[in-house]
Amino acid sequence: MTVITKIATVAVYVEDQFKAKKFWTEQVGFKVKVEQPMGPDATWLEVGPAGRGDGPGDLPQVHHG
């Protein structure tokens, strides 16, 4: 069985970016790493675990067993 051990980036398209940002930062506890306007009605938003680096594989480790 193949097990995913690291994730660099996952794109999630949302209808309401404000609600998505609120969910990921307030409910999940991620911090905003990048927030860049992308035209009049959109923003490029990157979030990730607080206190972790910004590189690939910087998500919390999941141990199976």
Cα separation, 46 vs 59, whole angstroms: 13
Residue 18 has pLDDT above 80, yes or no: yes
pTM over 0.75: no
Supply the mean pLDDT for the chain: 80
The pLDDT, as a whole number, for residue 9 is 83
Condensed to tens digits (0 to 9), the pLDDT of residues 47-65 reads: 988 776 555 444 454 444 4
Neighbours of 23 (CB within 10 A): 14
Domain parsing of the chain, residue ranges: 17-49
Condensed to tens digits (0 to 9), the pLDDT of residues 21-44 reads: 999 999 999 999 999 998 888 889
